[in-house]
């Protein structure tokens, strides 16, 4: 079966080790990409040993492009789409699968970080390409490009172009143009050969020159959230434009900040530390309930979706975002909704829906798990369970406040178990006698997870 492939460039040329401050940054990059590939069923293929040993005539930037198909064929990899990615990048742990967004076209991101450099490079190579009038609006970065098997011919011809003119290219890049290596020639070659290029994907998948965009900073107005902008809004972080010797130190600092997210085991304690709990905030669930949910679902629901009926201020919503591919969080109160959005701003897989569960039509995306935490009366909960069971195909149901003091939710749940042939999978959260932030005392377990027989 053909697979999507990440072609990761990680050649360590010891000749330049001091110039680049060592090669630890490549090891950091690799960890993020291996994690992301495993999560999305993508094959990680590293390019770490040059094909041509003469790195003056055959710079790594050239080799990564002209040998990509040769190497994939040599390694007997049955590829579909290929994401060529430089080792100076890190991919965010929860970045969505970009292969689903390409329309199976050659996909790249416009390079607009240094327009003077780009202009001079285009002009510098113009004579080599016989005066071709290059469309500058379509100039892209070659550090992150996606292509597929139908582009094999164009890459093969690009390889032939280089071998036929290798000395001229070396002279251009080292003595005449002195603006990059293969990037501008590849841009020319694709335009000359009328290759359709998709340049419409968000820049969040190729966030470069981060320091110049001041995205190492955070929003000082959000006292409880000091997450840097590039982590909040970027899916792929490219550490370009920095002094090369600083790359290792900067990427190490970032890795130490985010590395718990790349663990195959959920970083339960750090996730719980990000949010508030019921002993100090009456509007959310307890720390024990959140921990029980994290341990119950673990890594086995990463490809599933969840609907949360009643997200309140988003504390438990943020926890759910670590467990599921997509979280749909429903809330009717404007103030709660705004606070929830702030709390989950760094979690890109959460979509908020402003609706009243009991007034608006029960028309929600198809999901695998549903949280019932909206109205807390007997009638509300009984109605919610009935609608969820009839609307979805054997969903897993999470009930909050099962043990609240008046017993209304417990009665609704227990009756539904009998009437709708439900099964108790696990009681979760605090036990009988737990005192909430507003002084109420549970008469039974805080919550329960149900399944449909």
What digits encode the pLDDT tens for the residues 267-301?
A: 788 789 889 999 888 889 999 999 999 999 998 89
The predicted structure's pLDDT at residue 403: 94
Question: Rounded to whole angstroms, how far apart are CA atoms 210 and 427?
Answer: 46
- Label residue 361 by pLDDT band (50, 70, 90): very high
pLDDT digits (tens, 9 = 90+) for 12-54: 988 778 878 889 999 999 999 999 998 888 999 999 999 999 9
Looking at the domain that runs over 3-262, which CATH code has it been given?
3.90.550.10
Give me the residues paired with residue 308 across strands: 329, 371
Residues 6+ apart with CB under 8 A from 58: 50, 51, 52, 166
**Above pLDDT 70, what percent of the chain?**
99
Average pLDDT over residues 169-173: 96
Domain positions in the chain are: 3-262, 268-452
Q: Between 413 and 246, where is the model more confident?
A: 413
The label of the residue with tokens 């190729």 reads 206
Q: DSSP H helical segments within 85-146, as ranges? A: 115-126
pLDDT over threshold 80, residue 225 = no
Q: Give the angle 4-151-182 at the CA atoms, nearest 5°.
A: 100
Who has greater pLDDT, 20 or 334?
334
What's the pLDDT tens digit per position in 89-124?
999 998 889 999 999 999 999 998 899 999 999 999
Quick one: CA dihedral 73, 52, 154, 117, positive or negative? positive
Neighbours of 289 (CB within 10 A): 23
Q: How confident is the model at residue 222 (pLDDT cuts 50, 70, 90)?
A: low
Give domain 268-452's CATH number out of 3.40.50.620, 1.10.3720.10, 3.40.50.150, 3.30.930.10: 3.40.50.150
């Amino acid at each position: 079966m053909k697979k999507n492939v990440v072609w990761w460039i990680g050649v360590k040329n010891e000749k330049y080790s001091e110039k680049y401050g060592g090669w630890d940054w490549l090891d950091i990059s690799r960890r993020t990409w291996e994690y992301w590939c495993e999560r999305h069923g993508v094959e990680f293929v590293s390019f770490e040993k040059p094909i041509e040993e003469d790195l003056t005539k055959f710079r790594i930037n050239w080799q990564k492009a002209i040998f990509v198909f040769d190497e994939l064929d040599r390694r007997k990899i049955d590829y579909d789409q290929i994401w060529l990615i430089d080792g100076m990048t890190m991919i965010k742990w929860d970045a969505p699968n970009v292969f689903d967004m390409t329309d199976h076209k050659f996909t790249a991101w416009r390079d607009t970080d240094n327009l003077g450099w780009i202009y001079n490079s285009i002009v510098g190579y113009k004579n080599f390409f016989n005066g071709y009038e290059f469309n500058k609006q379509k100039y892209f970065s070659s550090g992150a490009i996606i292509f597929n098997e139908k582009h094999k011919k164009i890459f093969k011809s690009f390889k032939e172009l280089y071998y036929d003119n290798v000395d001229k290219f070396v002279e251009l890049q080292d003595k005449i143009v002195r603006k990059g290596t293969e990037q501008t020639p590849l841009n020319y070659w694709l335009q000359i050969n009328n290759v359709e290029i998709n340049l419409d994907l968000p820049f969040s998948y190729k966030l470069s020159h981060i320091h110049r965009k001041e995205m190492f900073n955070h929003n000082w107005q959000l006292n409880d959230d000091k997450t840097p902008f590039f982590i909040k809004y970027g899916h792929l972080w490219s550490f370009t434009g920095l002094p090369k010797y600083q790359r290792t130190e900067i990427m190490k600092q970032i890795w130490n900040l985010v590395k718990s997210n790349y663990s195959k085991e959920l970083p339960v304690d750090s996730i719980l530390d990000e949010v508030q709990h019921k002993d100090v905030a009456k509007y959310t669930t307890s720390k024990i309930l959140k921990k029980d949910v994290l341990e119950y679902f673990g890594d086995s629901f990463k490809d599933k979706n969840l609907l949360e009926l009643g997200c309140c201020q988003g504390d438990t919503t943020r926890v759910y975002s670590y467990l599921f591919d997509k979280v749909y969080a429903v809330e009717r109160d404007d103030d709660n909704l705004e606070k929830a959005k702030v709390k989950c701003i760094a979690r890109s897989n959460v979509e908020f829906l402003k609706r009243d569960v009991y007034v608006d039509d029960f028309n929600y995306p198809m999901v695998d798990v549903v949280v019932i935490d909206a109205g807390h009366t007997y009638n509300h909960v009984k109605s919610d369970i009935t609608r969820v069971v009839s609307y979805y195909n054997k969903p897993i149901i999470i009930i909050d406040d099962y043990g609240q003091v008046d017993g209304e939710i417990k009665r609704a749940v227990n009756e539904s178990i009998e009437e709708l042939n439900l099964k108790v999978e696990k009681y979760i959260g605090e036990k009988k006698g737990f005192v909430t932030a507003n002084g109420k005392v549970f008469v039974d377990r805080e919550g329960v997870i149900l399944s449909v027989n």
